[in-house]
Amino acid sequence: MVTTLPKPDHRNKPNGTSSIPPDESLWQRHSRNHEFPVSVGSSMGLHALVAAFFLACVAFGSLAISHPVEIDDLIVGGGGGNPNGGAGGTGKGAKKEAVDDSENSLPLPGKPATREQLRDVQKTAKPLAKVESRRLIESDLELGKKLTSVGELARKKMDAMQRAFADKGQDGPGQGGGKGKNAGPGEGDGAGPGRGKINKRVQRNLRWTLVFNIRDPEDYARQLHALGAILAVPGPNDTYLIIDDLLKRPVSPTPRDLRELNRMYWIDDRADSIAPLARTLGLTETPPYFYAFFPPELEKELLKKELEYGHLGEDRIEETRFRVKKTGTGRGYEPVVEFQKTK
């Protein structure tokens, strides 16, 4: 008879240890390196980011809709399908509608205007306003100084013309401005040892400088008109056209003999002041220069202010500068001495 011995129980040893490993839990068996919590956390984080991005897109879109970009209407020619761009219905045309592309800064049809393009269009209007408000010329206009070669010839021509007219004399055929029949000294307007007023006027023209501060051509015309000036511009065949009313638009130049204008004058030969003034007055052509004749009353006023400024005689004064300033008087503008140089 064979006796079967029981199997040894290795789980209970005398020292309380067992040779068979204990049962493993679910976390120890399937997530030894924490794969499960890491994957779950990553998935939830990605879903949260996607949801946040979606909400941000919705919020930005609603903001853009609530504040639409203001743009002007783009008007194009054509009637919505007519190949020739005429008035028509909504039919399909073989060609594109006629578009006025004269303004290159406008966006092309079918291409939406971006924010950058709209900003550029807004900026283009600002420099134009600055140009309109800018002064007519960069510096003060000084009549009587710094004439060009053309202006210098015009001055010599006018001086000779006025001298020849004054030499005819007064009430007689004599020369030199005398009152008798013979040439020689006497009280007259001509050259010579007598009291030649024309010589005095020529000297004053060379000594005096009339300074204008001009903002625009209309302002120039108003200042000249306030001082009583009339203009003479060169005409055809060595003639001159006289402009009496500088406030009329357009002006009405009329032919006239300059020898009849026994007045003090200045010459403007600066192109940057003549051209805008000519356009404002309505002249068909821009003259190379013009004479500005002033009444005798202004000459007396300038002489009085010159002598009172430094309390000197004319023979001791080398230069006097008068600046035309706006005043509250009835005339609106008046000359004021701002500088005087003695000999």
Using DSSP, state whether 189 is helix, strand or coil.
coil
pLDDT tens readout for residues 317-339: 999 999 999 987 778 999 999 99
Residue 148 has pLDDT above 90, yes or no: yes
Place of tokens 């130049």: 253
Chain mean pLDDT for the chain: 73
Structure tokens at 309: 């400024």
Predicted model pTM: 0.56
| Across 43-66, average pLDDT | 72
The pLDDT of 64-70, averaged and rounded, is: 49
The two structure tokens encoding residue 128:
């134009």
What is d(CA 325, CA 338) in angstroms, rounded to the nearest whole number? 11
Domain residue ranges in the chain: 141-163+214-342
| 3-state helix vs strand vs coil in the chain, percent to 5 | 40, 15, 50
CA distance 205 to 186: 23
Mean pLDDT is highest, among 197-206, 243-252, 329-338, for 243-252
Burial bucket for residue 166 (CB in 10 Å: 0-12, 13-18, 19+): buried
Segment 18-29 shows an average pLDDT of 54
Strand order in the sheet with 240-243: 254-255, 240-243, 230-234, 290-294, 264-268
Task: Tell me the one-letter amino acid at 317.
Answer: I
